[in-house]
Each structure stands twice: as C-alpha cells, then as structure tokens.
C-alpha cells in the first residue's frame, strides 16, 4: 500500500496553479512505485508479472465468456479419453461447463484448428513430460486432432503404457507422453502402499531417465509437475540425504516441498540445456489448480459447481501459489541461460484461466456409481472441457514461433 502524505492547505489553495503542479509532481514520482496489477484490474493480483509470451497480446490474462457452440469432440468421436476424465460417459448431467470460451483482455484467441496445428508440426515431434495432468492435456490434443486424423500407436520405450508414442503418418509428426510426476529420479520405498501417502526418495540432482534419455531429438517439449510434491519425500543430492518433507523422521532435516520442487525444475531445465544435440523449444505448462470445496481431498471434498466463477472469486493461494511462483522463477532462470545457448523456453501460463474453472473437473463422474469410489477428482479435467483451451493457447504459441 502506497502512503500519500496529507497536505494541510488553505481553502483557496486548491484553486491555484502551484497545487496542480505539486500534485502532478507527486504522481510522476509515485507512478513507478505502483504495482502493475493496480493499473490492470482484470489481471489477478497474485500473478507475479505480465507474461513475456504475450507478443502483441497477453493471451493468458482475460475472462471466460459464454459460448454456445458444440464442443470440438465428444466421448463418441474420440477414443483416446481415459475413463477417469470421461465425464459424459459416466453420467455427468450438466453440459454448461463445456459452453465457455477464453477471451483474452485485448484480443481474440482463435478456435483450435486441427489442420493448421498439424501443418505447423509437420515433420516434427512433441513430447509431454510430467504427471497425469500432462497426459490429460495430451489426450485433449489427440481428441482435437482426431477431427482430421487418428495416429498410429508405435513401439513405445517400454511396455508400460505410461510411456507411449503415436505417429501421424500423413504429417510425419510424432507425439509422445512420458510419465515422470517428479521429473527427477524417484524410488518408491513401498510400492504396495497407498498411492497418495507413501514415502518416496527423490534424487533432486538426477533427471528421470524415463524422459531425459529419450528427449534429445524432440522439437517441442511440454514439461509440467505439481500435485505429487505434496506427498512424503526424502530428498537426496550427490547420493546423500539432505532433508525430507513429511517423512516423520527425526534424524533427517525437515525441508519444505518447495525445496524439492525448485530443485526438480532446476535439474530438469539444466538437463535440457546440457543435451548436446537438443535444439527444441521447451514449454513450461504452469500449475493446474485443484478445486476441492466442502472439505479436503480425503475428507469429503468435492467440486460440484457447474459454471466458472468470476475473476477474483477464486485465486491461487497457499501451497499452490508458492509452487506456481517457484516454477516461474526457475523458468526465468532457464530462459536466461537458454538465450545464451540459443534455446527457446516458453511459458504456457494456464493458471489464471483455470483457477476460476472449478466446474471443469470430473468430481465423481470418472467411474460408475456402484464402484464406490469415495474420493472426488477435483484435480484432472473433463474431456471435452476447459482443458481444451490449453491447446488453443499452445497452437497460438506455435504460430508465434513461425513469425
């Protein structure tokens, strides 16, 4: 808050030119101190900066507007939708969540054009690296492209379905998905334990070979990570324990999840920068917010809204805000280094758009009612749904790369 001192003036003083001059001088002096978000009320105040990816228009700051056209696809026209995000298959009764379009503040975001996208990536390759939200976006992309063509499923790196590649023959375009929720090498200390609460060993200075050993030839890498860092972890550097998060071991230094998160991104970006033959463009897809209401995720929390909320009604806060700021800081660091090396780093900043979309999650419509799944999914996104906007933004960024 900027404090402007009070001026005790005579009643006629306001009418003279000296006062007007004085007020003008004060404003000139104070103007550089005013945060930009005060001057741009449509941007959420938690955002640390105006996106440098905006070129002629900042496509990441805007509002959702009603848009009554049919969605690009449905669960009958796209075979790539995982059941967990197939909300219409499992009986979600409302459709309003599909009838909104992202409108940047000062320009239009074009609708997704599948033929244009495929022409832009002709002869190239693209890999999504990260957790299931990265896969969520990739499946959205596959569904969007299915309006033109389906790919061939080609030999994957391993038989594990979490590591897959697809080939669009007519466009000589390879699409890949690499499962690496922590981005760095991870050892599960209890493979048979509960998925959301078992202790993991994270080697923070070693990129996960699941992606790092395969990525050097790719033209576009879309990297992301988030919610897995909330769990219990022991942190290793140089082969030695340096601390932990929620490990409940008195002999180990207690560090926050943000320490591990920062190091994981730093190692990942450093790995991409150090690959001798890598000449691709790296996109950091920013944190995708969860929207548990009426309780925590494991204590009855759900996401039952059917429409977006207004800008400002919801915002990133707490751990999610700190994760967002951490990844953006590491991205900036990598971008500076990449510029020296001739490598491009781009920010796919979806957080402001998605924080006001609590209506877009599966909730309990990712399974049949009789399956008795008690935990709602307020993390992933229904397909079709607002996540398709991520690929509208990605397409716009690819068009920028060509100009």
Q: How confident is the model over 220-233, as pLDDT tens digits?
A: 999 999 999 999 99
Whether the CB-CB separation of 349 and 286 falls below 8 Å is answered with yes
Task: Report how far apart, in Å, the C-alpha atoms of 285 and of each of 133, 289, 354 are.
Answer: 10, 12, 12
Task: Report how far apart, in Å, the C-alpha atoms of 397 and of each of 125, 277, 349, 392 are.
Answer: 16, 23, 11, 9
Q: What is the mean pLDDT of residues 90-109?
A: 96
Whether the CB-CB separation of 366 and 87 falls below 8 Å is answered with yes
| Whole-number CA gyration radius for the chain | 23
Reading the block at residue 213, the tokens are: 């050993």
Please report the pLDDT score of residue 20 as a whole number: 46
What pLDDT, in 10s, does the model give residues 47-68?
A: 554 555 555 789 999 999 999 9
Please report the pLDDT score of residue 190 as a whole number: 81
Q: Is 132 a catalytic residue?
A: yes
Whether the CB-CB separation of 175 and 138 falls below 8 Å is answered with yes
Please tell me what DSSP assigns to residue 375. Answer: S
Q: Is 209 a catalytic residue?
A: no
Please report the pLDDT score of residue 164 as a whole number: 86
* Active-site residue (options: 205, 349, 377, 388): 377
- Please give the backbone phi and psi of residue 352, each rounded to the nearest 5 degrees, phi first: -65, -40
Which percentage of the chain shows pLDDT scores above 90?
Answer: 72
Alpha helices in 220-350 (DSSP H): 257-274, 318-341
Q: Is 377 a catalytic residue?
A: yes
pLDDT band at 192 (very low <50, low <70, confident <90, very high): confident
Residue partners of 167: CB distance under 8 A and separation at least 6 = 151, 152, 154, 173, 174, 175
Q: What is the mean pLDDT of residues 232-241?
A: 97
* Active-site residue (options: 43, 51, 132, 177): 132
- In this structure, of 9-13, 80-84, 170-174, the range with the lowest mean pLDDT score is 9-13
Q: Name the helix (H) or strand (E) containing 330.
A: helix 318-341
Q: Give the residue from 59, 63, 46 showing the smallest Cα distance to 308.
A: 63
What pLDDT, in 10s, does the model give residues 124-141?
A: 999 999 999 999 999 999
- Please give the backbone phi and psi of residue 206, each rounded to the nearest 5 degrees, phi first: -130, 110
Task: Report how far apart, in Å, the C-alpha atoms of 259 and of each of 179, 229, 374 are.
Answer: 22, 10, 32
Please report the pLDDT score of residue 219 as a whole number: 98
Q: What is the mean pLDDT of residues 181-207?
A: 89
Q: What is the mean pLDDT of residues 190-207?
A: 86
């Amino acid at each position: 808050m900027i404090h402007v001192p009070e001026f005790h003036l005579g009643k006629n003083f306001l009418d003279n030119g000296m006062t007007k001059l004085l007020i003008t001088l004060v404003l000139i002096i104070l103007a550089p101190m005013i945060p930009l978000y005060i001057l741009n009320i449509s941007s959420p105040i938690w955002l640390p900066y105006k996106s440098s990816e905006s070129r002629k228009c900042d496509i990441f700051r805007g509002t959702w507007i009603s848009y009554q056209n049919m969605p690009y696809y449905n669960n009958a026209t796209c075979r790539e939708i995982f059941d967990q995000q197939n909300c219409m298959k499992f009986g979600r009764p409302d459709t309003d969540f599909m009838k909104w379009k992202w409108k940047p503040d000062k320009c239009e975001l074009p609708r997704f054009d599948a033929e244009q996208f495929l022409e832009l990536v002709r002869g190239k390759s693209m890999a999504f690296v990260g957790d299931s939200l990265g896969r969520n976006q990739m499946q959205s992309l596959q569904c969007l492209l299915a309006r033109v063509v389906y790919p061939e499923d080609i030999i994957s790196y391993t038989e594990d379905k979490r590591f897959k590649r697809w080939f669009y023959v007519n466009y000589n375009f390879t699409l890949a998905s690499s499962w690496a929720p922590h981005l760095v090498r991870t050892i599960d200390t209890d493979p048979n334990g509960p998925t959301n609460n078992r202790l993991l060993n994270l080697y923070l200075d070693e990129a996960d070979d699941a992606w790092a050993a395969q990525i050097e030839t790719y033209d576009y890498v879309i990297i992301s990570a988030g919610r897995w860092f909330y769990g219990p972890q022991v942190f290793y550097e140089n082969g030695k324990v340096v601390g932990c998060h929620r490990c409940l071991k008195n002999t180990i230094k207690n560090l926050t999840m943000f320490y591990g998160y920062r190091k994981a991104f730093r190692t990942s970006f450093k790995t991409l920068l150090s690959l001798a033959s890598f000449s691709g463009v790296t996109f950091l897809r920013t944190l995708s917010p969860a929207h548990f209401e009426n309780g925590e995720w494991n204590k009855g929390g759900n996401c039952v809204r059917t429409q977006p909320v207004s800008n400002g009604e919801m915002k990133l806060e707490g751990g999610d805000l700190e994760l967002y700021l951490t990844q953006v800081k590491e991205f900036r660091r990598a971008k500076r280094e990449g510029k020296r090396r001739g490598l491009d780093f781009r920010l796919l900043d979806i957080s402001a758009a998605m924080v006001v979309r609590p209506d877009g999650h599966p909730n309990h419509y990712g399974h049949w009612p009789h399956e008795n799944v008690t935990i709602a999914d307020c993390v992933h996104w229904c397909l079709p749904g607002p996540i398709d906007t991520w690929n509208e933004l990605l397409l716009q960024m690819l068009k920028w790369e060509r100009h």
